[in-house]
Structure 1
Amino acid sequence: MKTPPLSLSLLRRGFTLIELLVVIVIIAILVSLAVPATNLVMKRAQDLKIKTVLKDLQVAIGHYRTEYNRFPINPDDLGGGDSDIEPFLTDGTSQPMVNILTANVDSSGASTNMNPKAIKFIDLPSAKNNLFGIIDPSGGANDGTPVQLVDTWGLPYKVLLDTNYDNRIQNPDKSNNDQRISTDAPEYLNSTSAIYSFGPDRQEFTKDDIVSWR
């Protein structure tokens, strides 16, 4: 006895369900592949934003030195000797570098004004929600109130300067806890400035630090 054939409507219904399952599986696979790729693209975009700021700061420091024959820092902190100034943060309390480079200085103090020509060596964005840019407590008064310059994660950058003018600075990579970075890192960088962000983990000397020299 022959089994009666399935009706056309049942066949269509069965194929529709199978096709739906296949589509769902394909979508799930594509999503699983797309998420890591998207995260990688976003990370590279974030790194590029930070790298651009680091490069712009180095260029601005160089232009300032050409104009004034000194670094954009408080000269009282140099202290003489053969050592470079201690690394400092762009947190608005360590050094007035960001204020000086953006011409946000108190022009009434002629002897202490580190940018008397009011040259704006760099344009930096204002931070939104205290992320990526300048945090200005004065609200843009441009009266010399110390400002902060923070990265995408709301932390200040760290700056090293060759204030003893030997054309080299200590390489922070030597202190990196990732041996792939620290092992082969040279003791010194042949540069007059170096700047870095602590990266998304907000920890210094880790593999995700975003730096100006590599």
Structure 2
Amino acid sequence: MMSEDPQPTSFHSMKTSPPIIALARRGFTLIELLVVIVIIAILVSLAVPAINSVMLKAQVLKIKTTMKDIQVAIGHYRTEYNRYPIDASSAGGESDLDPFLTDGNSEQTINILMSNVDTSGASTNMNPKQIKFLDLPLAKNNQFGIVDPSGGSNDGTPVQLVDNWGLPYKIALDTNYDNRVQNPDKSNADQTISSQAPEFLGQTTAIYSFGPDRTEFTKDDIVSWR
């Protein structure tokens, strides 16, 4: 007896289906990768300005808080000693003392408020009760805080108070005691600020930072009065 021939293989059954696993593992094409990169670049370009804006607002807030602390400390000092924390020969006269930097060179206001004074000279000690009216952090990388050449010895060595960009603040005081100081905004290069600024500020202390551009009297100055 002859065996039956096996069933012929159909043409369709000979076709092979695409490997499912191979399709699943297929990588991105070059065009798809470029599209993804472009999308990521667009998202980053949109996010960076927003992040920078948030960081700048945080820096401005820190500086304004520091300026407020200095104003309060000066007020407390005046209540205690009935004078400003500056060299005694600087006060008085018909005009206010010119605004000075917190670099420790012209006036040692920050030293006096922090009770970092040389106690050996009784006649020149501007904080004889050694009251600490102001407490500020040490600067990191010479930015935002106290730069102390003495290394913290608290021996009266002039210190500097710098802002986030490593520059000293500027302080204006009512040293002729008429309850006002000249408005630095009148010298601002931005006409939208200077044109609307009054000649005087009705306060006894005004403080400002030169801002991110590190230039005085420009739009980005950070000030205590507005």
TM-score between both structures, scaled by the size of structure 2: 0.85
Match of 1:85 in 2: 97
Residues 20 and 37 (structure 1 numbering): CA distance in 2 closer, same or farther, change over 3 Å?
A: same
SS of alignment partner, residue 207 of structure 2? strand
- The runs of 5 or more residues in structure 1 that have no matched partner are 1-6
Match of 1:195 in 2: 207
Q: Is 1:135 the counterpart of 2:147 in the alignment?
A: yes
SS of alignment partner, residue 165 of structure 1? coil
1:39 alignment partner, one of 49, 52, 69? 52
- Tell me how far apart the structure 1 counterparts of residues 32 and 48 of structure 2 sit (CA, whole Å): 24
Structure 1 residues 63-97: Cα deviation after superposition (integer angstroms, max 9, x where no partner): 1111111100001123x421111111111111010
2:43 alignment partner, one of 23, 26, 30? 30
- Tell me how far apart the structure 1 counterparts of residues 26 and 38 of structure 2 sit (CA, whole Å): 17
Task: Give runs of ≥4 in structure 1 deviating > 3 Å.
Answer: 7-26
Instruction: Give the C-alpha shift of residue 32 in structure 1.
Output: 1.4
What is the root-mean-square deviation of aligned Cα atoms in Å?
A: 2.1
- Tell me how far apart the structure 1 counterparts of residues 221 and 38 of structure 2 sit (CA, whole Å): 38
Match of 2:165 in 1: 153
Match of 1:213 in 2: 225
- The runs of 5 or more residues in structure 2 that have no matched partner are 1-17
Q: Is 1:162 the counterpart of 2:147 in the alignment?
A: no
Matches within 5 A, 1:52-201: 52-78=65-91, 80-201=92-213
Instruction: Give the C-alpha shift of residue 28 in structure 1.
Output: 2.4
1:48 aligned partner, one-letter code? L
- Tell me how far apart the structure 1 counterparts of residues 93 and 114 of structure 2 sit (CA, whole Å): 29
2:199 aligned partner, one-letter code? E
SS of alignment partner, residue 196 of structure 1? strand
- Tell me how far apart the structure 2 counterparts of residues 16 and 177 of structure 1 sit (CA, whole Å): 54
Work out which of the two has the higher radius of gyration on C-alpha atoms and give 1 or 2: 2
Structure 1 residues 5-38: Cα deviation after superposition (integer angstroms, max 9, x where no partner): xx68798789954765554443222211101101
- Tell me how far apart the structure 2 counterparts of residues 52 and 125 of structure 1 sit (CA, whole Å): 13
Q: Which moved more, 1:15-24 or 1:147-156?
A: 15-24
Structure 1 residues 160-196: Cα deviation after superposition (integer angstroms, max 9, x where no partner): 0001111111000000000111110111111100011
Q: Tell me the number of residue pairs that the alignment of Structure 1 and Structure 2 aligns.
A: 208
- Tell me how far apart the structure 2 counterparts of residues 51 and 24 of structure 1 sit (CA, whole Å): 40
